[in-house]
Structure 1
């Protein structure tokens, strides 16, 4: 699966608030053997939001966690845009969400708070441990949570535990640190097939150059095969290296 996060909030981009969503979600994904495909921090802009949602929907293996914009104020666009992208504009009052909001706020649920139960059709709910106003999700893949970390974090855990508890696909990584610049290893890097994840991290320590090269794939044999190309080159050219 390809995991995406969409963090909505102009106040994050203008510095009025600090983001806490990415770090928490990323930590939870890594604990379960998953990684982010991409993360977006965007302002409260309906066209931008729609474009990002459509981009993620186009990935057939996508899983999205969206933060913010599901409240009842005029700048909360997420529920409506989610319906446009994922449900062809169809929305309805979710009976259980409506009941939760009415029970939580009594007469103050009307006329505005109740609109937080107006969701894309066939939405399922995420529990809000703070005030019972639920988040929601669609197709077991697209999760929409409040902008408050105190509310969203338990929803992330709920969603991952229910649908994406653990990545059972084993991957094999090999890593080395070589006492040379990465430019010297680019010819070998160019031979690495697309299905093997390659990372190259150059370092400068005073006048000394180093590069950390790491390969990751689902095949132990393939990882070892291409990793050996680097080892053979380094040995042949008397370049010091350390396998991590």
Structure 2
């Protein structure tokens, strides 16, 4: 049985919440995770608020199986809190000038690295770097599972790919079965209660005119187990003479 990993994204940006910018981070990360056989556990879009950021980081840290991608707030302006808050959450507040990160900034900006840009190299203790293909100001990560990238997609997206390719390249694909049943959800509840909590289960109802349909999806890493519990819904259809199709009839074709 492979170890379960819970992926989280934290998107920091008041300008997203107030409508001045549109988020591009969630959709990109979600696609990259799915392409590798992983899935999001949760995603947060939050203000540039140090206390709120810290609370979210601590919540994610409390999950021993968490992997986090954080976007935004690692610049040099007064509203960039992520580096300091990350240190509070993950390194007991300990920070240091990362010499490699500092050198990259100096090489990129020369004299203009001082007095402000160089502070972007002041990172939580023992941080490792992610390459910035745009301006060489590195992102960073801690414990091989907490990743911090800029708010600019042109910079962050290559860092996401670098991190996943290096540390989380591919998961064991889940085995999934789907059925659309001509029935109401209410009629299926007793069958649903028999499904173990560790399996991925979803029930999506649809009403077309006076006809009720339910799409049941069941997934897990053990094919035999998924087949066994999926048969519960087949048996229900046979017993109560419900029509069904072994697919999601409402799924859009790509």
Same topology, TM > 0.5: yes
* 1:224 positional shift: 1.2
Please list every run of 5 or more consecutive structure 1 residues that lacks an aligned counterpart in the other structure.
none
Tell me if 1:187 matches 2:190.
yes
Q: Secondary structure at the match of 2:160?
A: helix
Structure 2 match to 1:171: 174
Question: Which of 41, 45, 48 is equivalent to 2:49?
Answer: 45
Please list every run of 5 or more consecutive structure 2 residues that lacks an aligned counterpart in the other structure.
248-254
Q: Contact 2:37–2:174 at 8 Å: present in 1 too?
A: no
Tell me if 1:116 matches 2:117.
no
| TM-score relative to the length of structure 2 | 0.94
Q: Give the aligned length.
A: 243
* 1:225 positional shift: 1.2
* 1:172 positional shift: 1.7
Question: Which of 125, 131, 149 is equivalent to 1:145?
Answer: 149
Q: Secondary structure at the match of 1:6?
A: strand
Structure 1 match to 2:252: none
Q: For residues 24-173 of structure 1, what are the structure 2 equivalents within 5 Å?
A: 24-167=28-171, 169-173=172-176
Q: Which moved more, 1:201-210 or 1:1-10?
A: 201-210
CA distance in 2, matches of 1:141, 1:119: 16
CA distance in 1, matches of 2:62, 2:196: 24
* 1:182 positional shift: 1.1
Q: Which moved more, 1:13-22 or 1:206-215?
A: 206-215
Q: CA RMSD in A?
A: 0.8
